[in-house]
């Protein structure tokens, strides 16, 4: 009987934590201290600011497979989302607009639909006019990037180093600041 009452409370708390919260970041300054020869380092099991991003591969919405190797040498913004997540829905059109704006700078936005099916991911993409690639993740990317709430934003620079991990909803100015940082060529 106690288990039956505990489960809804735990589930409710997880849903509130998963789809809410405030904008908070890990220190982006950490990435500034990364040696320029990051290619010789090995990525940690879980994404860490200032370290190489974990490799990933997954089924792409629309068919085929998308992997981190496709973006070698390019800045990448991973946006972890789910169709049921209200903040994910709120920021989707902003992310689409910024993906178009920063494409000329070489930034690639990749949406990562967390533990839903292709139909739900496709419905989300259609509802928000998303044109950037989307990976339908079964949980492996979620685990590799330490995602325990949605949305989650991961900004990876041209060297493949995690520049920042940002849990929770972001506004346009904050996303754009992160995109500018990863789009800037080193030494510029």
The secondary structure of 140-166 as a DSSP string is HHHHHTT--SSSEEEEE-TTSBEEEEE
User: What residue segments make up the domains of the chain, in order of their start?
Assistant: 43-183
- CATH architecture, domain defined by 43-183: 3-Layer(aba) Sandwich (3.40)
State yes or no: pLDDT of 146 exceeds 90: yes
Q: Which H helix or E strand runs over 9?
A: helix 2-18
State yes or no: pLDDT of 22 exceeds 60: no
Task: Convert the pLDDT of each residue in 103-126 to its tens digit.
Answer: 999 999 999 999 999 999 999 999
Q: Quick one: pLDDT band at residue 40, thresholds 50, 70, 90? A: low
Q: Quick one: pLDDT band at residue 180, thresholds 50, 70, 90? A: very high
CA distance 55 to 36: 19
- Report the pLDDT averaged over residues 85-100: 98
Residue 47 near residue 144, CB atoms below 8 Å: yes
Q: What pLDDT was estimated at residue 45?
A: 83
């Amino acid at each position: 009987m106690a288990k039956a009452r505990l489960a809804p409370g735990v589930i409710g708390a997880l849903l509130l934590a998963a789809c809410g919260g405030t904008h908070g970041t890990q220190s982006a300054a950490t990435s500034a201290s990364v040696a320029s020869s990051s290619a010789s380092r090995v990525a940690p099991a879980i994404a860490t600011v200032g370290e190489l991003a974990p490799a990933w591969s997954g089924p792409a919405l629309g068919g085929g497979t998308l992997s981190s190797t496709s973006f070698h040498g390019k800045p990448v913004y991973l946006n972890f989302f789910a169709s049921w997540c209200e903040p994910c829905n709120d920021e989707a059109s902003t992310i689409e607009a910024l993906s178009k704006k920063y494409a000329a700078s070489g930034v690639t936005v990749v949406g990562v639909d967390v533990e839903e099916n292709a139909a739900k991911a496709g419905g989300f993409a259609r509802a928000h006019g998303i044109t950037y690639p989307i990976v339908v993740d079964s949980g492996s990317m979620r685990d590799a990037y330490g995602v325990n709430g949605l949305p989650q934003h991961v900004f990876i620079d041209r060297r493949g180093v995690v520049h920042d991990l940002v849990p929770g909803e972001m506004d346009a100015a904050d996303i754009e600041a992160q995109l500018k940082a990863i789009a800037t060529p080193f030494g510029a």
